[in-house]
Amino acid sequence: MSLAPYSGPFGRPELIHLLRRTLFGVSPGDLSHFDGMSLTQVVNELLTFTNTTTPPLKTYALPVGGQPDPTAVDPDVPFGTTWTTVPIDPNLNPNPSGFRRQSFMSWWAGNMLQQERNIREKLVLCWHTNLATQASTVQVAEPVYQMNQLLRDNCLGNYRQLMYDVSVSPAMLIYLNGYLNNVFAPDENYARELMELFTLGEGSGYTEDDVQAAARVLTGWSIQFQNNGVPIIPQTTFIPFLHDTTDKTFSPFFNNATITGQTGANAGATELNALLDMIFQNEEVSRHICRKLYRFFVHGGIDAAVEADIIEPLAQVFRDNATAPDQLRIVMETLLLSEHFFSNDVRACMVG
């Protein structure tokens, strides 16, 4: 069992295994396209793409006089054009937000069904599964779409940068109550998920006091839904007087680090960056994220041997490329080209 580059045969069985892991199903056309390529060539093509996805369009209508009438719902959006840049008038009846959410879900499912020959759609689902938001909870369709685009644009990028962007995204601020977290009533929801699910992992060693301190770091972020009474696409804003400006001290797990309280318009960004820097200095982040990728793309189970021989060296690759803009691409390339990825033990098994 090794993370060393695979040097065995790369024929039809190996190609099918690789494509099943990185695509949603393998068509005869997919096999024909990649047939004759080397392993390195196939992996390079799977990991090379640009985000060319077109946004979801208005394809919904309401029946009027027995006929579908697109103007009867979401009238500010012409039929066949995108709703993603058009604010919703709160006085509209019916409110089109539910139609937009359904449009988003159909659009995303369509992207998976009509996938390109690369790993993008599989990775978007992977990151959505691990950095989850829920359309029915967020309610507002535009931030839900923005979150999907964020994952789409950064699925092979830098994980620490992705965590900053996710932390201040409107969808996540709404979903985990970050927009309600303020100095007068701290909300620990996002701080807890940030450590437990998104970075360090449950049982890694952080304390309840650490969660509370992180929640104070994250106070003051909010969502702007209107500008001078005019509806806008929801966007993140920072409100300085709602931010806890006192120092935040953490446990020995974080080497008793203190994040100095900040004031002013940049206080939220400065303290969030300090919090992420502190968290990402801990090696548990690299292990936790590499385990997630392993379970999604290789095998659902991780025993002591896999932890020692695969997760630890892969986590080292993650750490060695901590500042690389394509950090996650390097990690995925290492995994997909590895000897272990093609071992019989991880073929035709459950993943995810």
Q: What is the pTM of this model?
A: 0.95
User: What is the full per-residue pLDDT of the chain (352 aa) written as tens digits?
Assistant: 799 999 999 999 999 999 999 999 999 999 999 999 999 999 999 999 887 789 999 999 999 988 899 999 999 999 999 999 999 999 999 999 999 999 999 999 999 999 999 999 999 999 999 999 999 999 999 999 999 999 999 999 999 999 999 999 999 999 999 999 999 999 999 999 999 999 999 999 999 999 999 999 999 999 999 999 999 999 999 999 999 999 999 999 999 999 999 999 999 999 999 999 999 999 999 999 999 999 999 999 999 999 999 999 999 999 999 999 999 999 999 999 999 999 999 988 767 6
Return the number of other C-beta atoms located less than 10 Å from residue 111's C-beta. 20
Cβ neighbours for 50, distance < 8 A, ≥ 6 positions apart = none
Assign 232 to helix, strand or coil: strand
Please name the amino acid found at residue 130.
N
Max Cα distance, the chain (Å): 69
CA gyration radius, the chain:
22
Q: What is the dihedral of CA 192, 194, 197, 198, to 10 degrees?
A: 180
Query: Shortest CA distance to 126 belongs to which of 166, 158, 155?
Result: 155
* Phi/psi at 262 (5° precision): -120, 160
Assign 227 to helix, strand or coil: strand
What tokens does 77 get?
């959006």
